[in-house]
Structure 1
């Protein structure tokens, strides 16, 4: 939407500066929307003089101000541009308010869920094949809050890439192999119970894993048994494979229940086990190129230019069993061949930064050019995530706690409505609270979680977004059937309406910014601001008691605000509620 106005401004600027017609697109790209100011009316667009200079800033700051004033003096208002000014080395523009109102609302009504996603800003982006690997829990280890972060961040990135037209493959790469599974396999005969496994699979596998780990610290024989079980697995022993497959299948079934609650889904449940044989093929390729070196600790590959021992990466244990990085190498090579992807994004905590640096470097050494298309999106740790019963063990506990607290808050609220399924609504609101709290800052930063803060109905929270969406939806019950979508402009000239429309203009730029560095905080900030603007407009604009023309125009405005708010929430992975 904003691009149409940018083009009009750019055409006049290009004419005044005597630039060739082909420069118009470049000038349009230099024109930015202006963030809405809460206390006074803002211009809609600004053009910084420095951005027009091919080689960067041209002269001192004061010269930039003079240049802006000179250019503004030559530009003229017309049927589109209603005001031209200057500020801090830039030329500012206001669009005719009635034209702005009509165009923005008509564009949202026309585009619906595609509003902001099919503008000229994205026209030069090629449609790509994107692989996103996220969540990736380790079977037999607790499905903890770190998996919550990986799941919701990966889900957001996949949603975002899909929204702009990419073909997205969502992969859950299970940690279903390796020494930790050897421990579980060896320990189940001593500590396992088929009845408990049937009753609560993930909880019991975790309990067995804790017990066998504790025992292994005191008894080296258990460690040897675990290594032996892993060797049997990698050797194809039927009994070991049968037990492993049973644990893997029931774990995936349990994980699927949690993912359904989070609104996450996967196209491929792969895992390290799939690459136990392929990893040997990769090692043979490396060996044939003379890149491997055998040591007492195992087989290593030199990642340095100078042969620095500290830059070696171990790719096979001395007993011949594979390692995590070996299987990751095989998985990456397999995906390159199978999917021929344009980009592959790994979403894990920041402790794995060095692992992925080594992985990408090994792939480069192997001659895999697609290694340059691989990216690691790291995230920090969450502290303070506790339930009323104490420390969190499983992610399921977090989701149950969010739902329970929200149900309690809804029951205590005087404004809560009678709902068909209060528990389902509470769950959706609680998950929105978790996502917004998580997405507010830089993903790589650690943060302290606070239940009371996250579940506030006012302020910058997911509960506030859900409340605003439900409030805007409830207004539509007042709508009277109309034969036309035309509306009365005069009923939408209040400053709160203009400020909201200015904010809606920026939606595509916010999505584009999220695409640039895969950080959801830009969209979270944008939606929270939209929520606050919408609530000001809701308090200001009368619908009940207004003429049918005014009511129709205002309800159309609120409907379109709700549509953009809901679309943005869905991108974040939030399911908007209509009543609460």
Structure 2
């Protein structure tokens, strides 16, 4: 079964600065709960930030808004930290707390004290915060206020030069084979008209020939050796391939909404990798094997039971050598706080060795390097057969979505149906890919991915378009001054409570680098909004009630759009 390249093909390399100025350090509702607890527990409010969270919305019964995990702020005196003792302390704490104009009810759960906010204040404050903060809603939270500004270098995608976004990444091998095979199988006119497709065809042909002819394999090795030696003719050919490749990548990246100011891949560090080999040798870390290769001993007993090969017998570098050069160069260039590598999980051992070698070289910042791995997508096919190229996946998603839209009775007449289908199809792929743990493999199904109902990217887009349409229809009646007493229905309260927890979801994803938390949140928000839209009509309601409900739906759509954009999805306004 073919493995889908999608996870590795969202972008190549970037620099991200985390941190926000002019931050609203705490939503007013949460601050009120902090102050209430601070007086009783005799703790600074900032010490309570991570001990309090918004409760998940329940479909079966009303729930409180915030909960305090008592065990995280009260030291349990019992020797065995038994549950009854913790629950007793929970009950005693709850009895000391008094309701006020903000907190209307205090109750207890297993090890928690729960706080229900005055319902009109909840509606007023949440809606004000959503529209005040706009695209930064959730980020301007007390959870993020304690985080320092950080510069993070992220390397991901890393497609090969002269190779399409492909299921396999053979890196230097393909460059050598292409160099050896282009004169025999290549055509300059075809290269100009469809570069990556033609170069891939050349690769397939020369790879087949190399399997039968040892001389072709030697030519490929010789090509790569000359490339590292900066042979002018070989370098010129490689640059030719690189320019055509990047031009094509830019076009595909644009479809994904990705733009880069600088392109520097592994091959950029071929020359610098020789400097790394000299550094390893100078530090006494380089050892020669019987085969003539050079290795770094990573075993605890230094008996070569675990080693990493960093140089071939012909003196050329390997993938890990160039990664060492890249890491050192990027740290010097960007002086970043963290370097994150995003690749498939088959490279886990590679990155463990990479970071270990950096430490042996004396680079303490290697502790701040991190590998984020992802699994494989299996069973992905287009109508033409097994998928090997990302562009085929994108085209198939767009084509199938276009057909689904044409067949649907609810589809509106669109100015650019192809562009809309592209955005919805991409949303479907992204949500399917990000629903679970990144490291998990999963079986792909077009029918499941493109469903308009259920937990899919299509459903997110449909909900956003529906709420946007509602705003357009009722824009004459829009008002920012609303009566929050009109938002006391259970369905409205559920939406407001869910909006209240958005910052926690963003924080959790920033901590473990898993987008699934945001995906789950947005899907729940869409389902809650769909139920509210059905049970709380805007059209036909009394003006005051209609304005309040419309404002609620505007807030839901705003947060839905923000979250989708974080995942690389462009929300559509019609479908």
TM-score bracket for this pair, using the shorter chain length: over 0.9
Please state if 1:403 is matched with 2:398.
yes
Q: Counterparts of 1:78-227 in structure 2 under 5 Å?
A: 78-144=100-166, 178-227=172-221
Question: How far apart are 1:136 and its partner, in Å?
Answer: 0.3
Q: Counterparts of 1:325-364 in structure 2 under 5 Å?
A: 325-364=320-359
Question: How far apart are 1:553 and its partner, in Å?
Answer: 1.5
Partner deviation per Cα, 1:178-235 (whole Å, 9 max, x = no partner): 3321111001111112222222211111111111111111110111111121222222
Please state if 1:36 is matched with 2:31.
no
| Partner of residue 166, structure 1 | none
Q: Tell me the distance in 2 between the aligned counterparts of 1:14 and 1:234.
A: 64
Say whether the 8 Å CA contact 1:480–1:552 is kept in structure 2.
Answer: no
Q: Counterparts of 1:387-402 in structure 2 under 5 Å?
A: 387-402=382-397
Residues 93, 322 of structure 1: alpha-carbon distance in 2 compared, 3 angstrom cutoff: same
Give the match's secondary structure for 1:445: coil
Question: How far apart are 1:47 and its partner, in Å?
Answer: 1.6
Say whether the 8 Å CA contact 1:384–1:450 is kept in structure 2.
Answer: yes
Q: Counterparts of 1:371-390 in structure 2 under 5 Å?
A: 371-390=366-385
Q: Tell me the distance in 2 between the aligned counterparts of 1:449 and 1:224.
A: 39
Partner deviation per Cα, 1:287-320 (whole Å, 9 max, x = no partner): 1111111222411111223113231111111111
| Partner of residue 16, structure 2 | none
Say whether the 8 Å CA contact 1:145–1:382 is kept in structure 2.
Answer: no
Question: How far apart are 1:78 and its partner, in Å?
Answer: 1.3
Say whether the 8 Å CA contact 2:478–2:547 is kept in structure 1.
Answer: no
Q: Tell me the distance in 2 between the aligned counterparts of 1:498 and 1:127.
A: 35
Please state if 1:564 is matched with 2:559.
yes
Q: Tell me the distance in 1 between the aligned counterparts of 2:527 and 2:354.
A: 45
| Partner of residue 516, structure 2 | 521
Partner deviation per Cα, 1:125-144 (whole Å, 9 max, x = no partner): 11111111011011244422
Q: Counterparts of 1:500-579 in structure 2 under 5 Å?
A: 500-579=495-574
Say whether the 8 Å CA contact 1:146–1:381 is kept in structure 2.
Answer: no
Q: Tell me the distance in 1 between the aligned counterparts of 2:76 and 2:382.
A: 56
Please state if 1:12 is matched with 2:20.
no
Q: Tell me the distance in 1 between the aligned counterparts of 2:112 and 2:363.
A: 46
Give the match's secondary structure for 2:263: strand
Please state if 1:53 is matched with 2:74.
yes
| Counterpart pick for 1:292 among 286, 293, 313 | 286
Give the match's secondary structure for 2:574: coil
Partner deviation per Cα, 1:53-92 (whole Å, 9 max, x = no partner): 3479873212222222222222222110111111222211
- Deviation >6 Å, runs of 4+: 55-58
Partner deviation per Cα, 1:327-350 (whole Å, 9 max, x = no partner): 111111101111101111100000
Q: Tell me the distance in 2 between the aligned counterparts of 1:343 and 1:281.
A: 23
Residues 276, 55 of structure 1: alpha-carbon distance in 2 compared, 3 angstrom cutoff: farther
Please state if 1:269 is matched with 2:263.
yes
| Partner of residue 412, structure 2 | 417
Say whether the 8 Å CA contact 1:7–1:28 is kept in structure 2.
Answer: no
Question: How far apart are 1:284 and its partner, in Å?
Answer: 1.1
Say whether the 8 Å CA contact 2:163–2:245 is kept in structure 1.
Answer: no
| Partner of residue 435, structure 2 | 440
Q: Tell me the distance in 1 between the aligned counterparts of 2:267 and 2:394.
A: 29
Give the match's secondary structure for 1:458: coil
Say whether the 8 Å CA contact 1:282–1:329 is kept in structure 2.
Answer: yes
Gaps spanning 5+ residues in structure 1: where? Answer: 148-174
Please state if 1:450 is matched with 2:450.
no
Partner deviation per Cα, 1:421-454 (whole Å, 9 max, x = no partner): 0000000000000000000100001011110000
Residues 401, 483 of structure 1: alpha-carbon distance in 2 compared, 3 angstrom cutoff: closer
| Partner of residue 159, structure 1 | none
Q: TM-score, normalised by structure 1?
A: 0.91
| Counterpart pick for 1:280 among 274, 299, 321 | 274
Q: Tell me the distance in 1 between the aligned counterparts of 2:282 and 2:62.
A: 68
**Deviates further, 522-531 or 182-191:** 182-191
Please state if 1:243 is matched with 2:267.
no
Q: TM-score, normalised by structure 2?
A: 0.92
Aligned alpha-carbon RMSD (Å): 1.8
Number of positions where the alignment pairs a residue of Structure 1 with one of Structure 2: 549
Question: How far apart are 1:16 and its partner, in Å?
Answer: 3.0
Residues 554, 146 of structure 1: alpha-carbon distance in 2 compared, 3 angstrom cutoff: farther
Q: Tell me the distance in 1 between the aligned counterparts of 2:341 and 2:370.
A: 6
Residues 56, 194 of structure 1: alpha-carbon distance in 2 compared, 3 angstrom cutoff: farther
Question: How far apart are 1:492 and its partner, in Å?
Answer: 1.2
Give the match's secondary structure for 1:179: helix
Please state if 1:497 is matched with 2:521.
no
Bigger relative contact order, structure 1 or 2 (CA pairs below 8 A, ≥6 apart): 2
Say whether the 8 Å CA contact 1:140–1:209 is kept in structure 2.
Answer: no
Give the match's secondary structure for 1:32: strand
Residues 523, 234 of structure 1: alpha-carbon distance in 2 compared, 3 angstrom cutoff: same
Question: How far apart are 1:547 and its partner, in Å?
Answer: 2.7
Q: Counterparts of 1:462-481 in structure 2 under 5 Å?
A: 462-481=457-476
Give the match's secondary structure for 1:269: coil
